[in-house]
Structure 1
Amino acid sequence: MVENKNIANDQDKAKDKVKFGEIELSPKVAKAIFDMGFEEPSPIQAKAIPVIMQGKDLIGQAQTGTGKTATFGIPMAETLNPRDGRVQALVLCPTRELAIQVAQEISKIGRQNDLKALPVYGGQSIDRQIRALRYGVQVVIGTPGRILDHLSRKTLRLNNVRMVVLDEADEMLDMGFVEDIEAILKETPEERQTLLFSATMPGPIQQLARQYMKEPEFVTISRDKLTVPLIEQVYYECKESQKVDALCRILDMEEIGSSIIFCRTKRGVDELVAALETRGYFAEGLHGDLTQAQRDRVMKKFRDGKAELLIATDVAARGLDVENVTHVINYDIPQDPESYVHRIGRTGRAGRKGIAITLINYREYRQLKLIERVTKARIQRRDLPSMADIVERQKEAHKMKIVKLLDGGHFGEYKSIISELAEEYDPMEIAAATLKLLIEGPEAETEKDEAPEFGNTGAEPGMVRLFMNIGRAQGIRPQDIVRAIAEEAGIPGNVIGVINIYDKFTFVEVPEDVAGRVMGVMHQNMIKGRKISVEPAKAR
């Protein structure tokens, strides 16, 4: 009876596991890595994680950018005890930059399990590190010199360490750290699990492995030669909070045809689709949660030109065969150089012109440089277009449309209308009024006479800043404001400018020529069931 109960418990535990490729993970760890954008394991993760989870020593020959950190970070999150505040895993790195990066990634992987990772390195206050160690951490990531410093001060004890990782061992060899590494290993228990990762395997590294590892399994990942398509590659730097606005400016400035925009996660795809739709763009999302029927509908809209933007994750976009993609945009920088090459290869096909655009924040600059180094490609930096640039670009686009129409001729009965008007009005005024009617619609007819004077509201030139008596306390989000104004005032969402939402009120900038219309339709209107008042803001 007890045996049957144990079998039932084992079956229940198996049901709780989540598949990550062929690797079974606990739900918490699976959620953490899916939130980070890992939809399936990289080659080294697929080969090495099962070996590490069995408790075996491992030598992994792989270069930077292949997913090494998650290769040992995932087993740490699965096996270490977060309720034990003693150090249970040690990662040695050649540089402070790598130590910080590894610590950040392990923290993300172990977030759901409350796993704490601490980077220790020279150049940072050792007192701060000592306080953190006393508070309790499960994983320490550090450079050999600073680890030895803590050991000599007895502020770090390694007697409970179950896993030691030597990351980029050949780099540590080149920097003269071998003796330090040996001294640190002697402070750890003999029954520990040892993992060694190195891009090359010189003699001293092999000697280190023979002396301090027990029958290690050998896993090697050879990076295929990456062939980068001959297309223009550029990047823009912006703050994370400004990415949607930056993307919209780029979309307004570029001659966008069909474009694929890549996000790291499924949630990111859904959020970006919603943000773009509220700004007047035709966007569709593609990710792993869609049924085949939903996927087919999305792809039909994209191929038929009914959706100009396809927002996708890497896995969802695999196998797509779409012609005439003019732009690939990395809204989230890819995890590795291979993914970058696969993404941008979807534009510039069959000799056509294509452009690959990547958005980064300052923390992602190192990853961008890695992509450049591995792919041997030059990714050019560009400044984000200003509102003045966009207005000028739109004027040029309108001009080109008119030139094309003039070259085609055949105006027939329209000439007679112009002839009649020319008897009373200047031909230049007639042409300008016709163009305004074409671009702004019938509402443009009387707007000039009725447009109110707003004075200085503290907005950018050409914009008016409006005050609304609704804010965060009422659950208001930027997309709610954009959607309401766009629908009620009949203007594209992408012309709406800066939105600042506070607890009980909101400021929103709209173009000066439609500000009167926006105030007219929005004052005493409803947003999320609440009646609002709208008035020009006072300059700050």
Structure 2
Amino acid sequence: MTTAFKDFQIGEDIVKALSNMGFENPTPIQEKSIPVALDGRDMIGQAQTGTGKTTAFGVPMIEKMDMNQSMVQGLVIAPTRELAIQVGEELNRIGQDKGVRTVPVYGGQDIQRQIKALKKRPQIVVATPGRLLDHIRRKTIRLDQIHTVVLDEADEMLNMGFIEDIEAIMAAIPSDYQTLLFSATMPKRIQTLAERFMNEPEVIRIKSKQLTVENIEQLFIEVKEPQKFDVLCKLLDIESPELAIIFGRTKKRVDELTEGLLKRGYSAEGIHGDITQNKRELAIKRFKDQTTDILVATDVAARGLDISGVTHVYNFDLPQDPESYVHRIGRTGRAGNKGQALTFVVPREFEHLKSIEQLTKHKMTRKKIPSYDDVLEGIQQATKDNLLKAIEDQDSQKYRHVAEQLLDEYYSVEVVSAALKLLAKEPDRTPVKLTAVSPLRVKKVRGGNDSGQKRNRGHQGGGRYKGGKPQNDRRSNQRGQKGNKKRRNPNHK
């Protein structure tokens, strides 16, 4: 029997909010995690990105919120600003009917603006580690009433060098709290963190989603960085996708790609972590309605997209980690339909291509860069298809009299040729220059930083104790705290 959200011991306000979001039945990680978290137990959830982790921890966290309490009660720590924004948006949607408010805080945004938002007494804060430490130092976020702490994508935070910051944050929380840790992998340092700060956590493992490739044609083109945009436009002209998603590695890349496509006459919209939720929803609605043919997106912004009818996925930039490739191309080839996924690879990125092929157990087919003649042939074929469709629709009867007049004066081949020329979209060569993106190095860590930030500690902006204790002092203090478990309620199971 299929479990539904209403089967959990949660309030009707949360069930209603989930229903409004289109969620009726939980994913495997949600089905296993929510009862454990509702029971107050510490938990480690090992699951890949895109499995529904935010709802898995968001539902029990929001269910436990005391609406008479005006202090922060829930804390989510995330590795990147984009993920913090996304998690904050989803938690706000889950908690909207109950009145639970979530505020994201992250480096790169004006801290005074964040302080102003925090003064409105949100129940949940989603934060990147460096900026959270800054707020703790300023006493603009108080930790006295925290009952739930979530570490989201813990292995990513380890890769980015944030583990010591997390240890400092958790050691600073005075209250007895429940810890929910989510990680795609479980390296030794994460296990050590769990041993130190968690109380007999329940471990829930969800197998990585297997990629079904039968309906997806996977191709790659070797192309130099400056050629990418023109090659993309050639492919769009040749293939005339009904609905296409183009993935860029950074927010700036998405903005520039979208602007360039619009300059050349394509119907395109872009989504990434910096656009408002209203704009994102409007862009996705237009794409679903096929008002827009092309959606340009970062990995983070495209999480959770469920759009039928996507015929093509273009990886304009290789993703930072192979798992992201799986999620990207899974947007096409759905419900038994055929789909095509094409990836641009610069010469120095072939090691990454190999790692993707190892994960998917599928060798991609090399495709040549199309020529100008290929483009003309593709345009002519698309125009012919459009004309035949118009004939089949039989919606051209009101033009019949004009057609008969033309055929009285000209040969039929001349008339049809002229009509095709008028209908055809000639290749647009408007100059477009994109900011170059460096090729990926051979990867030793998992990644997926939507912003293209450097992976060094404290890069979040305000991520250090400015004017406070020197870094070495703080580290030595942390070492002095080693072995100190957080305080636990004697009745805690």
**What is the TM-score of this pair, normalised by structure 1?**
0.47
Partner of 1:63: 48
Larger Rg: 1
1:414-470 deviations in Å (ceiling 9; x for gaps): xxxxxxx99x9546489979xx9xxxxxxxxxxxxxxxxxxxxxxxxxxxxxxxxxx
Q: 1:101 aligns with which of 86, 93, 100?
A: 86
Partner of 1:148: 133
Residues 248 and 124 of structure 1: is their aligned pair in 2 closer, same or farther, counting only changes over 3 Å?
Answer: closer
Q: 2:210 aligns with which of 215, 219, 225?
A: 225
Consecutive unaligned residues in structure 1, runs of 5 or more:
1-17, 252-262, 266-310, 313-326, 349-353, 358-371, 381-390, 405-420, 437-540
The answer to whether structure 1 residue 186 and structure 2 residue 217 are counterparts is: no
- Secondary structure of the residue that 1:47 maps to in structure 2? helix
Distance in 2 (CA, whole Å) between partners of 1:125 and 1:141 is: 16
Partner of 1:28: 13
Partner of 2:443: none
Partner of 1:460: none
Q: Which amino acid aligns with 1:344?
A: G
Matches within 5 A, 1:399-410: none
Partner of 1:247: 290
Partner of 2:269: 238
Q: 1:396 aligns with which of 380, 384, 397?
A: 384
Partner of 1:320: none
Partner of 2:335: 346
The answer to whether structure 1 residue 174 and structure 2 residue 217 are counterparts is: no
Contact 1:20–1:41 (8 Å) recurs in 2: yes
Q: 1:203 aligns with which of 182, 188, 193?
A: 188
Distance in 2 (CA, whole Å) between partners of 1:430 and 1:197 is: 65
Q: Which amino acid aligns with 1:133?
A: L
Contact 2:144–2:174 (8 Å) recurs in 1: yes
Partner of 1:73: 58
Distance in 2 (CA, whole Å) between partners of 1:109 and 1:231 is: 34
CA RMSD of aligned residues (A): 4.6
The CA deviation at 1:168 is 1.3
Residues 336 and 398 of structure 1: is their aligned pair in 2 closer, same or farther, counting only changes over 3 Å?
Answer: closer
The CA deviation at 1:124 is 1.2
Give the percent of matched residue pairs that are identical in Structure 1 and Structure 2. 42
Distance in 1 (CA, whole Å) between partners of 2:46 and 2:409 is: 77
Distance in 2 (CA, whole Å) between partners of 1:27 and 1:21 is: 8
Distance in 2 (CA, whole Å) between partners of 1:23 and 1:45 is: 11
Matches within 5 A, 1:67-466: 67-231=52-216, 234-235=244-245, 237-238=268-269, 240=282, 243=286, 247=290, 341=330, 344-347=333-336, 354-355=338-339, 396-397=384-385, 425-426=408-409, 428=411
The answer to whether structure 1 residue 43 and structure 2 residue 31 are counterparts is: no
- Secondary structure of the residue that 1:97 maps to in structure 2? helix
1:172-225 deviations in Å (ceiling 9; x for gaps): 222232222222112223521111111121222112111211111110111143
The CA deviation at 1:398 is 7.4
1:319-358 deviations in Å (ceiling 9; x for gaps): xxxxxxxx6569xxxx99679749724345xxxxx3469x
Contact 1:19–1:25 (8 Å) recurs in 2: no
Partner of 2:250: none
The CA deviation at 1:71 is 0.8
Query: If each structure's strand is expressed as a fraction of its own residues, which one has the higher value?
Result: 1
The CA deviation at 1:58 is 0.4
Distance in 2 (CA, whole Å) between partners of 1:115 and 1:336 is: 34
- Secondary structure of the residue that 2:119 maps to in structure 1? helix
Distance in 2 (CA, whole Å) between partners of 1:55 and 1:192 is: 9
Residues 153 and 429 of structure 1: is their aligned pair in 2 closer, same or farther, counting only changes over 3 Å?
Answer: closer
Distance in 1 (CA, whole Å) between partners of 2:159 and 2:40 is: 29
Contact 1:231–1:355 (8 Å) recurs in 2: yes
Q: Which amino acid aligns with 1:184?
A: I
Residues 146 and 35 of structure 1: is their aligned pair in 2 closer, same or farther, counting only changes over 3 Å?
Answer: same
Q: 1:53 aligns with which of 19, 38, 43?
A: 38
Q: Which amino acid aligns with 1:247?
A: Q
The CA deviation at 1:86 is 0.6
Partner of 2:490: none
- Structure number with higher relative contact order (C-alpha < 8 Å, ≥ 6 residues apart): 2
Distance in 2 (CA, whole Å) between partners of 1:206 and 1:174 is: 14
The aligned length equals 302
Partner of 1:448: none
Distance in 1 (CA, whole Å) between partners of 2:44 and 2:409 is: 82
The CA deviation at 1:250 is 5.5
The CA deviation at 1:119 is 1.1
- Secondary structure of the residue that 1:247 maps to in structure 2? coil
Distance in 1 (CA, whole Å) between partners of 2:389 and 2:117 is: 64
Distance in 2 (CA, whole Å) between partners of 1:401 and 1:224 is: 39
Distance in 1 (CA, whole Å) between partners of 2:202 and 2:269 is: 43
The CA deviation at 1:399 is 6.2
Residues 49 and 336 of structure 1: is their aligned pair in 2 closer, same or farther, counting only changes over 3 Å?
Answer: farther
Q: Which amino acid aligns with 1:243?
A: R
Contact 1:66–1:336 (8 Å) recurs in 2: no
Residues 235 and 328 of structure 1: is their aligned pair in 2 closer, same or farther, counting only changes over 3 Å?
Answer: closer
Distance in 1 (CA, whole Å) between partners of 2:30 and 2:332 is: 21
Residues 54 and 428 of structure 1: is their aligned pair in 2 closer, same or farther, counting only changes over 3 Å?
Answer: same
The CA deviation at 1:92 is 1.1
Q: Which amino acid aligns with 2:148?
A: M
Contact 1:169–1:205 (8 Å) recurs in 2: yes
Contact 1:32–1:110 (8 Å) recurs in 2: yes
- Secondary structure of the residue that 1:112 maps to in structure 2? coil
1:466-496 deviations in Å (ceiling 9; x for gaps): xxxxxxxxxxxxxxxxxxxxxxxxxxxxxxx
Residues 186 and 427 of structure 1: is their aligned pair in 2 closer, same or farther, counting only changes over 3 Å?
Answer: closer
- Secondary structure of the residue that 1:223 maps to in structure 2? coil
Consecutive unaligned residues in structure 2, runs of 5 or more:
219-243, 247-267, 271-281, 295-303, 313-323, 342-355, 368-378, 393-403, 420-493
Residues 143 and 377 of structure 1: is their aligned pair in 2 closer, same or farther, counting only changes over 3 Å?
Answer: farther
Distance in 1 (CA, whole Å) between partners of 2:116 and 2:387 is: 65
- Secondary structure of the residue that 1:145 maps to in structure 2? helix
1:99-137 deviations in Å (ceiling 9; x for gaps): 111111111111111211111112111111111112211
